[in-house]
């Protein structure tokens, strides 16, 4: 048996604050989360938090971006890019539908998400579009993805998956979770397939 002497990195101040924010939102919801409580839980001063984020919504937006980036898988296997991309989209959408933080915000503070549904792309959405467009371009090279502007195609994939995540509860009675997952897979695969 070998002993590994790994030095674990201590979290950055930003990570401590984001972890504390996650804890607060899960315990209280967005509306009752204060930067003072975030600072207390993070073990930092309030000015330390305010230097980085102007308000609770800003720190929660960065938290959501971090949480989404963590679940975006790498797509570097031997399978065609479309197969990997469809699986990644379905896995991320399923993960987000069950993600405790996203579920809490969707149920208790949906107005936070409205900005990113109807007004503008958020940082995490831009990161998703960038990663998906790279996979689309790779699929166009290997012949598994249809022709078209990779950014446009990636943006539409985001809209399809985002709708499946945000509206899953609304349609659960007629489209249960497992069937929703299967339909999402079918829709994304058909959308990306060469014509």
Output the average pLDDT for the chain.
88
List own/partner pairs for 33-37 with CB under 8 A and 24 or more apart. 33/60, 35/59
Query: Does residue 65 have a pLDDT over 90?
Result: no
- Which pLDDT band, with edges at 50, 70 and 90, does 127 fall under? confident
**Which comes out higher in pLDDT, residue 184 or 61?**
184
Please report the pLDDT score of residue 194 as a whole number.
97
Query: Does residue 7 have a pLDDT over 50?
Result: no
pLDDT, average across residues 77-88: 92
């Amino acid at each position: 048996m070998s002993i590994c002497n790994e030095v674990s990195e201590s979290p950055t101040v930003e990570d401590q604050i984001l972890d504390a924010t996650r804890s607060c939102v899960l315990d209280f919801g967005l509306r009752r989360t204060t930067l003072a409580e975030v600072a207390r839980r993070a073990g930092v001063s309030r000015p330390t938090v305010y230097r980085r984020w102007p308000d609770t919504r800003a720190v929660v937006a960065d938290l959501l971006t971090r949480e989404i980036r963590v679940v975006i898988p790498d797509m570097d296997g031997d399978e065609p890019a479309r197969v990997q991309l469809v699986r990644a989209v379905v896995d991320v959408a399923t993960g987000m539908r069950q993600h405790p933080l996203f579920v809490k915000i969707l149920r208790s503070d949906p107005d936070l998400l409205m900005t990113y549904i109807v007004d503008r792309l958020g940082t995490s959405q831009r990161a998703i579009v960038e990663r998906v467009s790279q996979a689309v371009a790779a699929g166009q090279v290997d012949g598994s993805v249809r022709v078209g502007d990779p950014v446009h195609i990636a943006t539409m994939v985001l809209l399809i998956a985002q709708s499946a995540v945000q509206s899953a509860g609304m349609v659960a009675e007629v489209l249960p979770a497992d069937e929703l997952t299967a339909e999402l897979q079918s829709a994304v695969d058909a959308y990306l397939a060469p014509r």
